Amino acid sequence: MVIIAGPCVIEDASLLDCVAARLTDINSRLGTDIIFKASFDKANRTSLSSYRGVGMERGLQMLADVKSKWGLKILTDIHESCQAAPVAEVADVLQIPAFLCRQTDLLTAAARTGKVVNIKKAQFLSGADMVYPYQKAREAGAAEVWLTERGNCFGYNNLVVDFRNIPDMLRITPTVIMDCTHSVQRPGAAGGKTGGNREFVPAMALAAKAFGAAGYFFEVHPDPDKGLSDAANMLELDKLENVIETLLR
């Protein structure tokens, strides 16, 4: 089971240490190998005034510190093809954001690093459509490509998850991940920022398991309502272990 967890965006070193310590503790107790996720830049925020992150250079150093101190694997996202090579020096998994999953140069640059590439399914694509981003990455040399379900646009300011996308994508790759927190977003529905319903996160995970998901993605925060990005849909850090235990059972 692939488990990815961490704060939406890098806020400061103390937040990264707090989350990494808890993930390490969960790994020790449950025998899991949680991959630490945090973004150095959120390039697709709703508003220009929204917090984006600490930038690539500083962010990569902070992620490298987490990797060195806590022994966790690292996943982070890239938004431009020029970021692929430097990010690959630190990250074990390069993530392609959903809005950018058809960007050929971005996909091929990530693939050429030799790292695992996790492609998030766009909100406007079906699971079957993801064969084409997958093929781009594979033909560019990626040894391993994961696909992630994160819901589809449902009118304005809402998402809905068609769980049939999971078996559809399993026909493309054996590693299909459910993004349990982004799938409960209400995009742009909170007055210039994205809202969400974090109470549905555990149910999203269990439903995805029923449809055969091979992994689960959780954005977590010790105090989500004070988070600087995705506050409304991040899961409380102290609830993560129980959700993972339930999935393992």
Using CA atoms, how far apart are residues 136 and 142, in angstroms rounded to an integer?
Answer: 9
pLDDT at 33 over 70: yes
pLDDT at 201 over 90: yes
pLDDT digits (tens, 9 = 90+) for 104-116: 999 999 999 999 9
pLDDT mean over 26-41: 98
Closest CA to 225 of 198, 200, 192, 187: 198
pLDDT at 192 over 80: no
Residues 6+ apart with CB under 8 A from 164: 127, 211
pLDDT at 208 over 90: yes
In this structure, of 30-39, 48-57, 236-245, the range with the lowest mean pLDDT score is 48-57
Q: Across all residues in the chain, what is the average pLDDT?
A: 95
pTM above 0.85, yes or no: yes
Q: With the CA atoms of 157, 199, 220 and 191 taken in that order, what torsion angle do they form, in degrees rounded to the nearest 10?
A: 30
10 Å CB burial of residue 86 (0-12, 13-18, 19+) is middle
Using CA atoms, how far apart are residues 15 and 46, in angstroms rounded to an integer?
Answer: 23
Using CA atoms, how far apart are residues 188 and 164, in angstroms rounded to an integer?
Answer: 26
pLDDT at 245 over 70: yes
pLDDT computed for residue 152 by the predictor: 96
Helices (H), strands (E): how many in the chain?
8, 13
Confidence tier at 189 by pLDDT (50, 70, 90): low
pLDDT mean over 156-183: 97
Confidence tier at 135 by pLDDT (50, 70, 90): very high
pLDDT computed for residue 38 by the predictor: 98
Q: With the CA atoms of 67, 237, 181 and 230 taken in that order, what torsion angle do they form, in degrees rounded to the nearest 10?
A: -90
pLDDT computed for residue 95 by the predictor: 98
In this structure, of 74-83, 129-138, 191-200, the range with the lowest mean pLDDT score is 191-200
Q: How many CA atoms lie within 13 A of 246 on its CB side?
A: 16
pLDDT at 45 over 80: no
| Local structure of 146: helix, strand or coil | strand
| Local structure of 120: helix, strand or coil | strand
Q: Which residue has the tokens 């890239």?
A: 78
Using CA atoms, how far apart are residues 90 and 95, in angstroms rounded to an integer?
Answer: 13
Residues 6+ apart with CB under 8 A from 159: 123, 150, 151, 152, 153, 183, 184, 185, 186, 187
Q: Which residue has the tokens 């439903």?
A: 207
pLDDT at 120 over 80: yes
pLDDT at 194 over 80: no
pLDDT at 238 over 80: yes
pLDDT computed for residue 16 by the predictor: 98
